[in-house]
Structure 1
Amino acid sequence: MNPSSTPPPPARYALGELDKEARMGGQGEETTAREVRVIDLSDFDARKAEIAEQLWSASVDIGFFQVSGHGIAQADVDAAFARAEQLFALPREVKAQWPLARNAGWEHKAQIRPSTQTPDQKESYQVTRPRMIGLWPTEDQLPRFKAQTLAFERQCWEVGMRLLSCFAHKLGFDDDFFTRAHDPDVPAYQSTLRMLHYFAMDPALRDELGLWRAGAHTDFDCLTLLFQRAGQGGLQVLPGKEMASRQWTSVAPIEGVITCNIGDMLTRWSDDQLPSNFHRVRNPLPHEYQGARYSLAFFCQANEDAVIEGPGKKYPPITGAEYLKQRISANFSNRY
């Protein structure tokens, strides 16, 4: 039979986004042909129309871009990374007191991607403001950790809302549409700051190709802001519209920029005008740094009561709560 005429495998998930992700395992190839654009956000209010056009163009193209001039000082980013290292250095039995539930708390090798069916080689700590009761380190364990982490989370939210206001404008919504849908001052808020620690490579597992630091996936949210550390690479992107090519492009860390990608929520909210992209974190090659990798991700996830429905109503409406429930359940064995 001609491969092009082979019918797709039967759906495994209720959401089409998840079924698509389940078909994205494997090594694929690497290409340098794609450009990951860096967009300057400085003088934002005066340049908003220009910036909106640049963001839209980059997002329609590959769903992935980087921003400079975003207003978060490098010292604040460095301090956030230092806090993450301090948290992950705590004894495992201490971190186990804050178990992951509903996108808040600590997990260790708990995320199993539909694309790989093997655990990501990492641990993470997730901060979702209304769900953090009993999940913070004490002042004795990590002095000022809570206050400083929440301050950084707010900085990320502000950048995210500026970016989303540009997409709201382009979609024909009012500029504050997504800001209202991500209101941080209500119990329904579910945007998340995630600290990630990918483990140093174990030489004994070098040849086990199934062990990814993070398997291929698209994000659950509207928009992701990712902070990387220089010298700790591995992030690769494959635009969703090019998924058949299986050609991945590496995105090297650059100090002072935030790497951003469109998530599945915004793809649905835009009636597929803005594609979410596949990305993964590969294991380092033999000649590359083999130590631990840290990253910080902020996920702009619409509030639980927000109704996700595009301007053209291509998809039936779904609440932010139900959407995340389906996505998290598929990744974390129903830890929602």
Structure 2
Amino acid sequence: MRQHTDDTLRPEPATAPMVELDRESAMGGLGEETARRDIRRIDLTDFEARRAEIGEQLWEAATDIGFFQITGHGITPEETDAAFAASAAFFALPADVKRRCAMEPGTNAGWEHRSQVRPSVGIPDEKESYQLTRPRMEGMWPGDEEARGFRETVLGFESHCREVAMRVLSCFAERLGMERDFFARAHDPNSPGHQSTLRLLHYFEAPRVPAEAGVWWRAGAHTDFDCLTLLFQREGQGGLQVCPGAEREAQEWTPVPATADAITCNIGDMLMRWSDDRLPSNFHRVKAPGPGDDHGARQSIAYFAQADRDVLIESPQGLYPPITAGEYIKQRIAANFADAPRG
């Protein structure tokens, strides 16, 4: 890994095409649902003693579908429940209170409301969210009188998520011929350029009959910007689907189980670049509920392991031009939040 000071950055030119955006713009159709893919479950219990075995299982799942679920990760149900309770308390606050924590354009910190417009569908996701990115949180916290204990709860949860993400990424680093702690060094929580983000998500109650088929999405088709995503779901609050590369042309979507006993993980675009596409960052979405589905509100929490701003993402075989992680995130945010309302 190479890190650079501001006067030696080698960012991708602003005019260079970003292939991820080209791929995403073609993924707005409804497609078809299929159950022919399995989302593998991998137990991380006794991780160090079983590192080789676990690493093999993670690699097989990641290179196949790019999605997998992990158990035995060390984050307790009580800790997860507390994070979800803090999330629900925040989103229950009046809009004018949440607006004091409004996300600034071009950042990944604070509250947004129906402002993420995916290039795949061109309409806002039907959700609100709150982003925690450690170096950017000044003025972004609700007060204790509004959400008691919120800050301490989500900071503790974010820290534990990073530990789990780095454990998984250490296995991928070894398989890619990197030093075991390569990604831990690239995601330094004490760095002023730290970009990893914990995102609390609240998807709104869905209408029983959308006004027009195919135009109502909880989250339009997209890939994640990061190296690795950890997603926490509530039991029975489904809707997440993945479209592996082999099914992309026909847009065949596999449901991802919504289960509270496992963390759903997926490979992001940064890691796909670092691995020369050996680890695929596949498209996923959160569909609108169908006739037999629960139309109530949906909660989830995502942790995005995004390399620090000054880290250079280099494709070993040159499949992608080198770009700093800061410039990469900047371009992806610009494509996803351009001119969108914040509520």
Name the TM tier (shorter chain). over 0.9
Q: Which residue of 1 aligns with 2:114?
A: 109
296-305 or 235-244: which moved more?
235-244
Mapped partners of 2:18, 2:290: distance in 1: 34
Percent identity of paired positions between Structure 1 and Structure 2? 58
Query: Any residues of structure 2 matched to 1:212-231 within 5 Å, and which?
Result: 212-231=217-236
The amino acid that maps onto 1:79 is A
Does 1:141 pair with 2:146? yes
Q: Unpaired runs of 5+ in structure 1?
A: 1-11
Q: Unpaired runs of 5+ in structure 2?
A: 1-14
Q: Which residue of 2 aligns with 1:9?
A: none
Query: Any residues of structure 2 matched to 1:156-235 within 5 Å, and which?
Result: 156-203=161-208, 205=210, 207-235=212-240
Q: Deviations over 1:38-69 (max 9, x none)?
A: 01101000111111111111111111110010
Q: Deviations over 1:233-276 (max 9, x none)?
A: 00000113431121001112112100000000000010111110
Pairwise CA distance, 1:13? 7.9
The amino acid that maps onto 1:284 is P
Greater relative contact order (CA < 8 Å, ≥ 6 in sequence): 2
Q: Deviations over 1:191-222 (max 9, x none)?
A: 00000000001346354421100000000000
SS in 1 for 2:215: coil
Query: Any residues of structure 2 matched to 1:1-336 within 5 Å, and which?
Result: 14-101=17-104, 102-203=107-208, 205=210, 207-333=212-338
253-262 or 292-301: which moved more?
253-262
Mapped partners of 1:139, 1:247: distance in 2: 46
Mapped partners of 1:206, 1:231: distance in 2: 25
Q: Which residue of 2 aligns with 1:4?
A: none
Mapped partners of 1:50, 1:110: distance in 2: 42
C-alpha spacing 1:204/1:27, structure 2 compared with 1 (3 Å) = closer
Equivalent residues of 2:208, 2:295 under 8 A apart = no
SS in 2 for 1:27: coil
TM-score, normalised by the number of residues in structure 2: 0.92
Cα RMSD after superposing both structures: 1.4
Q: Deviations over 1:51-106 (max 9, x none)?
A: 11111111111111100100000111111111110000000111111111210010
The amino acid that maps onto 2:81 is D
67-76 or 302-311: which moved more?
302-311
The amino acid that maps onto 2:52 is A
Equivalent residues of 1:328, 1:334 under 8 A apart = no
SS in 1 for 2:30: coil
The amino acid that maps onto 2:72 is G
TM-score, normalised by the number of residues in structure 1: 0.94
The amino acid that maps onto 2:57 is Q
SS in 2 for 1:126: strand
Mapped partners of 2:16, 2:126: distance in 1: 24
SS in 1 for 2:49: helix
Mapped partners of 2:245, 2:80: distance in 1: 29
Mapped partners of 1:334, 1:73: distance in 2: 39
Equivalent residues of 2:236, 2:259 under 8 A apart = no
Mapped partners of 1:220, 1:40: distance in 2: 26
Mapped partners of 1:120, 1:239: distance in 2: 22
